[in-house]
C-alpha cells in the first residue's frame, strides 16, 4: 500500500495514504499521537508512534524499528477538561467514575493492573463516553490466593496519584515524597496504633511516627457541595489501610451509582491473561511472539468485519446536561508541555524489602 509522511513534529511519521493528518494530539518522551481521518471510512483515528523503544541496556529486537498503534479517536481527556474549567454536574461525576470502575473491574478480572490511573489517562467524548488508556505501565499479576499479593509488586504511579502505601515503599524520601505523604495524612489523618501495627516494617512505622500528627479532615468539610452518598463513597475509597478500602465490585454496587448501575456493563474478562511471554529472553523469541500477536489481532478483526459485528454500545450517559467539548478551546500541545511533570512515568519501587514489609497489612 502507498504510504505518506504526516506533517507532524516528528520526522518519518509514515502511515498509509488513506490516513489524512488533522493535528497533533500529544507529545511525550515515549511517542507522538496524531489525529487523522480515514478517507475510506470517514472515521477519525488516533495514531501513536512509539519512539525510544529500545535502549542500550535493554535487549533489542532486530527488524522491529518502529511501532505504530492505530486507536479509536477520543475528543479529550479528563485532565484537559478539569484544566479547561468547564462546569460539571454530580451526574457527570457519577457517570465518569462508574465507567472507570467498570473498566477497572474488567482489567482486574484479567489479572492485569493498570498502575498509572489518572485523569490524563481517562479519555472522554462529548457524549460523556469514557475509556481508560495508556497501558504502558500495566503489568500482569498472579492470583493472590496462590500466596502472592501480585498487585503490590513493583507498583508504580504518576506523582500526585500514589497511594500512601506506595509513598512509604520508597527507600529514599525526597522533599516531594515527604510533602505528598504529609498531604495524605492531612486529609486521611495519622493512622491509629492498630492500623500502624499492621505495617510490618519497623522503619516504616518509625517514619510515620516521626511526622506531625494529623486529625482526619471530614470529607464533608473538604467538599461541602458533595452529596452525602458521594461523601460515603469517598470515605470507603480513601482509606489509609488498603485492606479496609472498598473493592471495585463493591463500589459498583454503591448507591452513588444507582442511576447507572447495570450488571450488563460490569462484565469480567472471559479468562485471565497469559503472561508467559514475560519469560522470553531472546530477540528471536520476542519477534515470533510479536508476529503471532499481530496475526491473531488481524484474524479477529477480519472475523468481526465479515460477520458485521461491532462493539457493544456504550453505557448510558447523563441526559439532562452533557459535556460539550470544543477542541480548539482545550490546551494546546505546547501548553500541555507545562504539565510534563505529571505525565512522566514515576520510578518503580526501590526497596523490595520494605515493599514486602508493607504488604504485612492484614487482609
Strand partners, 27: 32
CA 351/CA 356 separation, integer angstroms: 9
Q: Which residues are annotated as a binding site for ATP?
A: 49
Catalytic annotation on 127?
A: no
Rounded to 5 degrees, what angle do the CA atoms 167, 168, 174 make?
Answer: 65
Identify each DSSP E strand in the chain by its residue range: 3-5, 14-16, 19-28, 31-38, 43-50, 67-72, 76-77, 112-113, 122-124, 130-132, 139-140
Q: Give the residue from 73, 72, 75, 69 showing the smallest Cα distance to 15.
A: 69
Q: Give the residue from 202, 200, 199, 167 showing the smallest Cα distance to 185.
A: 167
The active-site residue, picked from 77, 116, 241, 357, is 116
Q: Which residues are annotated as a binding site?
A: 49
CA 217/CA 215 separation, integer angstroms: 6
Local structure of 354: helix, strand or coil: helix
**Catalytic site residues?**
116
Amino acid at each position: 500500500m502507498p504510504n505518506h509522511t504526516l506533517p507532524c513534529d516528528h520526522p518519518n511519521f509514515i502511515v498509509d495514504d488513506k490516513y489524512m493528518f488533522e493535528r497533533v494530539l500529544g507529545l511525550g518522551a515515549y511517542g507522538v499521537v496524531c489525529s487523522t481521518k480515514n478517507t475510506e471510512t470517514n472515521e477519525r483515528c488516533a495514531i501513536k508512534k512509539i519512539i525510544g523503544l529500545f535502549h542500550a541496556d535493554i535487549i533489542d529486537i532486530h527488524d522491529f524499528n518502529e511501532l505504530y498503534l492505530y486507536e479509536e479517536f477520543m475528543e479529550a481527556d479528563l485532565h484537559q477538561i478539569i484544566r479547561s474549567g468547564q462546569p460539571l454536574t454530580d451526574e457527570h461525576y457519577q457517570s465518569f467514575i462508574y465507567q472507570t470502575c467498570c473498566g477497572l473491574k474488567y482489567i482486574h478480572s484479567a489479572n492485569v493492573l493498570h498502575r498509572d490511573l489518572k485523569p490524563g489517562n481517562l479519555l472522554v467524548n462529548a457524549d460523556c463516553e469514557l475509556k481508560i488508556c495508556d497501558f504502558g505501565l500495566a503489568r500482569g499479576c498472579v492470583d493472590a490466593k496462590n500466596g502472592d499479593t501480585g498487585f503490590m509488586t513493583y507498583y508504580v504511579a504518576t506523582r500526585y496519584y500514589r497511594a500512601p502505601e506506595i509513598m512509604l515503599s520508597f527507600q529514599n524520601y525526597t522533599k516531594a515524597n515527604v510533602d505528598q505523604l504529609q498531604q495524605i495524612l492531612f486529609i486521611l489523618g495519622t493512622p491509629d496504633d492498630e492500623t500502624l501495627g499492621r505495617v510490618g516494617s519497623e522503619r516504616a512505622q518509625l517514619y510515620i511516627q516521626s511526622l506531625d500528627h494529623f486529625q482526619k479532615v471530614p470529607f464533608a468539610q473538604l467538599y461541602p457541595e458533595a452529596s452525602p452518598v458521594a461523601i460515603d463513597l469517598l470515605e470507603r475509597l480513601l482509606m489509609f489501610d488498603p485492606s479496609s478500602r472498598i473493592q471495585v465490585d463493591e463500589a459498583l454496587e454503591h448507591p452513588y451509582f444507582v442511576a447507572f448501575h447495570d450488571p450488563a456493563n460490569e462484565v469480567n474478562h472471559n479468562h485471565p491473561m497469559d503472561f508467559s511471554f514475560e519469560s522470553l529472553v531472546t530477540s528471536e523469541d520476542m519477534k515470533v511472539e510479536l508476529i503471532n500477536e499481530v496475526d491473531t489481532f488481524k484474524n479477529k478483526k477480519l472475523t468481526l468485519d465479515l460477520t458485521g459485528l461491532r462493539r457493544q454500545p456504550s453505557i448510558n450517559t447523563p441526559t439532562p446536561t452533557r459535556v460539550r467539548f470544543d477542541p480548539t478551546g482545550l490546551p494546546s500541545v505546547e501548553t500541555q508541555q507545562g504539565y510534563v511533570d505529571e505525565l512522566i512515568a514515576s520510578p518503580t519501587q526501590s526497596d523490595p524489602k520494605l515493599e514486602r514489609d508493607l504488604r504485612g497489612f492484614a487482609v
